[in-house]
Structures are given as C-alpha cells and as structure tokens.
Structure 1
Amino acid sequence: MGEAGGVPLRVVSYNIHSQRDDTAALAAVVRAARPDVVIVQEGPRRFRWRQKSATLAESFGLVVAAGGLPALGNLLLTSLRVQVVGTRCQRFPLTPGRHLRGAAYADCRVAGARFTLAGSHLSTDPAERQAQAAELKRGLDAATGPVLVGADLNEGPDGPAWATVARGLTDAAVAADAADRLTYSCADPRRRIDALFVDPRITVVDYDVVDTPQTRRASDHFPVLVDLLLPTTG
C-alpha cells in the first residue's frame, strides 16, 4: 500500500567492480539494504552473462529485470514487489579503441505507481563521456513514466556530462542535503561520481552513501542507497 504522499521505493545504485572483490561482502551489503531495485554498473556482460546475472540477482535476493550484455554490463534487478512491464537496452556509439558503453531501461509498476528505471556507466574519456551523456539523456527523455536513473558518470557534479544527464531531474544527494558524501574510491574517497537522479515528481525521503567495513571489501565504489516516494497514477 502507498503512504501519504506516494508509494515507497528503496533503490540501490552500485558499481560492483565486475565482482572482482569480496563477493560474499557484496551480497551481504545489498541484502542488508533490503532494496526494491538495484541499479548495477559493471555487471556480467561476457561469457555466460545470463547465468552470471541470475546468480548475482539471487545472491541479492532479487531477480533480473533488464540489461547485462545487451546493455554492456548495466543491469537492473528488482524484488518481486516490482512488476516489470517492458525493457530495452541502449548502446552508445563506439569510439575506436575505447570500451563499449550503454544503458538499460525497465518500465515498472509498484502498488499503484509506475516509473521507468534506468542505469548507465559513462566513459572515463571526457569527450566521449559528454557524447554518451547526450545519448543517455535522449533515452531518458523517451521514457513513458517518471524516471529514476542511477549511473557511474566518471565525473563529479561540476562536469558537463553530469549537467547533461541531470537537466530537468532531481539529484537525490542534493535533495537530501548530502552532496558532500563521496562515492569513489573506497580506498581513498575523493569524488562523487555515482549519482541517482529522479523525476521532480518523485520525493527523495532519505539518501546515504553506505561506508562500512563490508562495503570497503565489496567493491571499489560505495553503494548509493535512496528512499523515494513515487507519485500514484490512479
């Protein structure tokens, strides 16, 4: 059931470093958060990616909604509370000699609310990153429901790619007065390059960058944990 003002949704956005670190700690971190959705960057994208994605989702207590290889490692996972009604993947134009990048989208419903979940991971190259941000923004603008997008932007809030993606959306960290919380790296936190942006109709209730001994073992990025209230659609 919805609460006064909207339907609650708990979101984790997490670059899991291709599961190169402590995978038991990774699973424990996500399970402890009890999310409704997890937006994964650097998820399985190569050989046996479907099986690996399903195994990852199961370790979190979730199911695969969208992404994986078609979205170049961007993976959307949901609890059974969330109904997924449509999915799509986006690949950004390839710059020769660089890594392929893309985005995953899932149109979802939960307890009388609808929303479009999206996830992406932009390039480390500034020029390429800006072009990818424009492509991602076009994908977000095509969404049919209120958008919430989690991304590793590989730049901070003062960068042009960040500004492109954020345009017209709410930065959850700013809304929660927590923009000073750094997300990268776990070994030496100096930058906020991982973000969750939401449609202005979505209320940001709480925001956290989870910094614990477990998260420092689980990945090279800290997870972003956000509680939202979604507008009901009747």
Structure 2
Amino acid sequence: MTAAGTPAGDGEPAGGVRLRVVSYNVHSQRDDTVALAAVVREAGPDVVIVQEAPRRFRWRQKSAALAESFGLVVAAGGLPSLGNLLLTSLRVRVTGTRCQRFPLTPGRHLRGAAYAECRVGGARFLLAGSHLSTDPAERPGQATLLKRELAAARLPVVLGADLNDGPDSVPWRTVGEGLTDAAVAADAADRHTYSCANPRRRIDALFVDPRVTVLDYDVVDTPLTRRASDHFPVLADLLLPVTD
C-alpha cells in the first residue's frame, strides 16, 4: 500500500486515474470515535463507503459530523439507505445519487444500499455501498436485489459491502458475479475482516468492475483499528479507466 495520506491523484499512470477507497463498518460509532477518525484520516482516502452509519434521530447532522471527522463530505446515503453512507473528498465530484431499501421482514433490521455517480479527473464511476442482513434466510434475496441494481449500472462499479457472509456463500457469489474481488486480485483473500477481537471471517467485500485495476489492497489491522470498530477497514488503491 502506498504511503498513508499521499494524494492518490499524484503522478497518475498513463491511461487511468487513481482512486483510494476505504470500506468500513463503523459499528454505529459505539467504539473509540477518536481512533475511528484517526484511522480514516491516516489512510487518506478519496472515498469512504460506510456501513452502520447514522440513520436515526438527527441522522443528517450526525452523518455530516462523521464526514467532517474524516476530512470528507457526505455524498449519499444515511436514513434513506438505512445506514449506508458514501463520503468523498473534494477531489471527487458527485453527479447523481440514489438509495435503495430492501423489503422489510417484520422483527428484523432494515437494510439497503446507497449509490453515487462520481467523476474524478477523466474517469467516471458508480460508487456503491450496502449491508446485508444478519439473518441467513434474508441475505440471498437482498443480494439478488443489490445485484440487479449493480447490473443495470452504466458506469464502472466500485462496491463496498458488509455481506455478513463469506466468499463461499450464495450471497457473496451473487453480488460478485461479473465483478473483480479486490482481495483475490491482490492475492490477499486470506485477510480476515471480522471480528477485530477474533479475526476469523472475511465478510466485508470490495468488488470492482473488471475494467478497474486493483493496484493494492489491505485489511488494516493495527492497535488503532482494533479500538475503532468491531470490523477492520478495507483499504484499496484502484486505477479507474478514463471515460472522457
């Protein structure tokens, strides 16, 4: 992984635009929020895909405060996407947003997804984030609904998601069909993302369009990340295709 905090746009390779991505389940900010902010700021991302972001009382203000603590701005999500939040640096221009809610199962947690059409340099892409149910009976159907939205995208997709299931599961295969698993591309599929107390599972995925090159990938396991959430953040450097 390149040096933390180094602007991803410096020294663009020919034929592509660099993008640094963090996908992070922040555990509803129940843990050390100072450590959480420090983790993200140290990574220096262009975009952060957040799961378990504010989605209840004063969610707009809380989402803005979370973004500010990261040195970023809110692009999309929050309550309309049931806790999925997309944050961007000022380097990234957002040209359109939408949110998705999966059908409600009585007595279960609501789940959904957030989408933002973005432009950085000469590259355009669809940034997406989702969080599937903890109920194994619900996840396959939610994965199908998420995949339907992704398959209809006109732009190269960058998806960060807490799938609550591993790579051998039906939901993971459904969502990942036709996309590149960034961990596999970087030969890092053995890196577990959950839980920080006992890392035994890779349930946090970063999928990208095949036209996107995975330059580097990391699951950030440090004393700071172990204080910040119950999930480790996924950090990747990508090379987006020039679309203009």
Q: Confirm or deny a common fold (TM above 0.5).
A: yes
Rounded to whole Å, the distance in 1 between the matches of 2:109 and 2:131 is 11
Amino acid at match of 1:111: G
1:190 and 2:200 equivalent? yes
Task: Within 5 Å, give how 1:115-194 maps onto structure 2.
Answer: 115-194=125-204
Shift of 1:144: 2.2
Which of residues 55, 68, 90 in structure 2 aligns to 1:45? 55
Indicate the residue corresponding to 2:3 in structure 1.
none
Q: Secondary structure at the residue paired with 1:18?
A: helix
Indicate the residue corresponding to 1:204 in structure 2.
214
Rounded to whole Å, the distance in 2 between the matches of 1:31 and 1:163 is 32
Amino acid at match of 2:150: L
State the percentage of identical aligned residues.
82
Q: Secondary structure at the residue paired with 2:42?
A: helix
Indicate the residue corresponding to 2:116 in structure 1.
106
Indicate the residue corresponding to 1:16 in structure 2.
26
Rounded to whole Å, the distance in 2 between the matches of 1:225 and 1:160 is 24
Shift of 1:194: 0.2
Amino acid at match of 1:216: R
Amino acid at match of 2:35: A
Indicate the residue corresponding to 1:75 in structure 2.
85
Rounded to whole Å, the distance in 1 between the matches of 2:100 and 2:152 is 12
Q: Secondary structure at the residue paired with 1:151?
A: strand
Shift of 1:139: 1.1
Amino acid at match of 2:203: I
Amino acid at match of 1:14: Y
Amino acid at match of 2:108: R
Rounded to whole Å, the distance in 2 between the matches of 1:144 and 1:71 is 21
Q: Tell me the alpha carbon deviations over residues 33-65 of structure 1, each in whole angstroms, 9 at most, x when there is no partner.
A: 000000000000000000000000000000000
Indicate the residue corresponding to 1:57 in structure 2.
67
Q: Which moved more, 1:2-11 or 1:37-46?
A: 2-11
| Structure 2: gaps spanning 5 or more residues | 1-8
Amino acid at match of 2:73: V
1:231 and 2:241 equivalent? yes
Shift of 1:127: 1.7
Shift of 1:5: 3.6
1:218 and 2:225 equivalent? no
Indicate the residue corresponding to 2:39 in structure 1.
29
Rounded to whole Å, the distance in 1 between the matches of 2:141 and 2:19 is 31
Q: Tell me the alpha carbon deviations over residues 132-171 of structure 1, each in whole angstroms, 9 at most, x when there is no partner.
A: 0000001111222100100000010000000000000000
Shift of 1:218: 0.1
Amino acid at match of 1:92: F
Rounded to whole Å, the distance in 1 between the matches of 2:178 and 2:214 is 15
Rounded to whole Å, the distance in 1 between the matches of 2:237 and 2:37 is 20
| TM-score normalized by the length of structure 2 | 0.95
Rounded to whole Å, the distance in 2 between the matches of 1:112 and 1:19 is 35
| TM-score normalized by the length of structure 1 | 0.99
Rounded to whole Å, the distance in 2 between the matches of 1:4 and 1:209 is 27
Rounded to whole Å, the distance in 1 between the matches of 2:146 and 2:221 is 28
| Structure 1: gaps spanning 5 or more residues | none
Equivalences, count: 234
